[in-house]
Amino acid sequence: MIYYTDCDLETERVGAALADMLERDGVRRGFIAMRGEMGVGKTAFTRGFASHFGIKGVKSPTYTVVNEYSGRARIYHFDMYRITDGDDLYSIGYDDYVDSEGYIIAEWSENIEDFIPEGAIYVTISRMPEGDTKRKIEIEYGRRA
Ligand SMILES: Nc1ncnc2c1ncn2[C@@H]1O[C@H](COP(=O)(O)OP(=O)(O)OP(=O)(O)O)[C@@H](O)[C@H]1O
Ligand SMILES: [Mg+2]
């Protein structure tokens, strides 16, 4: 699925739409691997996703690596910007999060490519040449080749 947005609120809405689809399908857990350059809207998307479950005030976990939220679903919001290898992941207890009940949303998942679980949903956000606020959001199910 491909969406185009023109402001952060529209990107939030796409995140909320994905959450709604998963909830309707009875999917209560899952790994959402976010890709895209700095400031492209990964946190905005996550904010929208979380808002669908009644969670407000999602902020970038840059300095904490992971923020945990609990609403109608549990959400673990990771920022892998500073994660460079498996040891870093191990030290934050990543494996336990992956096994836990709830959704994981990981920004900068490019940095943990080898550790993304099978069946993850990939969300890739990119800038469009048409304007400063134009974004393309691509949602793909399952591991990429
Ligand atoms: N279409 C759009 N979708 C999302 N954000 C947009 C859009 N147009 C402009 N923006 C602006 O871009 C910024 C996106 O910030 P956000 O923190 O969500 O990005 P990010 O990808 O999480 O960045 P980082 O890599 O630093 O974590 C905000 O300032 C937002 O207002
Ligand atoms: Mg962010």
Q: What is the pLDDT of residues 88-113, one digit of tens each?
A: 999 999 999 999 999 999 999 999 99
The rounded distance, in Å, linking the Cα atoms of 129 and 119 is 31
Ligand 1 site, residue 41, Cβ cutoff 6 A: yes
How many angstroms separate the alpha carbon of residue 106 from the centre of ligand 1? 15
To 10 degrees, what angle do helices 8-24 and 42-51 make? 50
pTM for this structure? 0.96
How many angstroms separate the alpha carbon of residue 40 from the centre of ligand 1? 4
Q: How confident is the model at residue 143 (pLDDT cuts 50, 70, 90)?
A: low
**Any idea which ligand is nearest the CA of 77?**
2
Q: Would you state the structure tokens that stand for residue 65, as one six-digit string?
A: 């690596």
All domains of the chain, ordered by start, with CATH?
Answer: 2-128 (3.40.50.300)
Q: What is the pLDDT of residues 58-89, one digit of tens each?
A: 998 767 899 999 999 999 999 999 998 999 99
